[in-house]
Amino acid sequence: MNNEGAKKVRFLATLAAASACLCIISLVGCGGPSRKELESLDEDFRASTASLEEALSFLDALERFDFENGSFMDDARKSVSSSREMASEAFTIIQRLLSRPYGGKLEELGRLIEDYGEAASAAVEELQSLYGPLEGLLSAIEPVMREEAAITGMEAPRSDAEWLERLNRLRNALGPALSALSSLEVPRVLEEYRGFLQELFSVLYKLVEELASRVKRGDVSSNAPDNPDFLRMQELLGSYGATVDRLRKNLEASRLDPLVEKVELEINRLFLEAAR
């Protein structure tokens, strides 16, 4: 091949390479994402937020706390177990979102996903750190809750001896429960809830002690609503919902809404742009 022919071949090869590069740049850097790609991203993102919401469902079960609710303990335990599974699922989906490529017109979405993913991952880690201690708290109060529910479901005692027997059973359950609550280590976010349970069952213990003392003396005519411990019990039970609500608000998973909204808006913008 003469020099002129070789130059022509080199020129054509260079031109072909440049064209290929321009094509790649056009597809990756300048072209928008396909609708299928956006739908896949949107599906993963929505799955992550749904799983995180389910990871908080144990709070709904806690809100149904009631001494007369015989199913509370079983429902709460099942809910904590289910929430733990959903937290694990949420973490997997979040990591998948973070590992996706976000080039070209997805760059802004990638930045928002990174902010959301980091915060959501931290929220999941916090949740995973409290499921175990929460199960410990439930185990601590379980004997009292079951005894109280059983007593509530019984007919009125037919004698002072029968009344005293019920009070003694409840007192025997309260002592170990209070010891267990005091010895449990809980993360900071659970400290207020644990403190609430400690006070509630401490006041109940005092009330049971006083009632047992009265029954022994044959003095059961005093009016319970006038008893300071009884009044405090009513106050505590009335504030229980607010205690759980503060627990919910203090969790990192409850503070993700602004980041979620930003990602949703960017995904919607990209969908609109792709439809033009």
Higher pLDDT, 102 or 5: 102
Cβ atoms of 90 and 52 within 8 Å: the answer is yes
In three-state secondary structure terms, 31 is: coil
Residues near 152 by Cβ (< 8 Å), separated by ≥ 6? 67, 68
Domain locations along the chain: 33-275
Tell me: the pLDDT tens digits for 195-245? 999 999 999 999 999 888 888 877 666 556 678 888 999 999 999 999 999
pLDDT band at 67 (very low <50, low <70, confident <90, very high): confident
pLDDT at position 10, please? 43
Q: What is the DSSP string of 109-154?
A: HHHHHHHHHHHHHHHHHHHHHHHHHHHHHHHHHHHHHHHHHHHHTS
In three-state secondary structure terms, 245 is: helix
Average pLDDT over the chain, rounded to an integer? 86
pLDDT at position 223, please? 55
pLDDT band at 29 (very low <50, low <70, confident <90, very high): very low
pLDDT at position 40, please? 94
Question: Within a 10 A sphere around the Cβ of 85, how many other Cβ atoms?
Answer: 13
Tell me: the pLDDT tens digits for 81-106? 999 999 999 999 999 999 999 999 99
Q: Look up the CATH number of domain 33-275.
A: 1.20.1710
Higher pLDDT, 76 or 25: 76
Q: ∠ CA(219), CA(222), CA(227), 5° rounding?
A: 125
Tell me: the pLDDT tens digits for 154-170? 667 677 888 888 889 99
Q: What is the pTM of this model?
A: 0.82
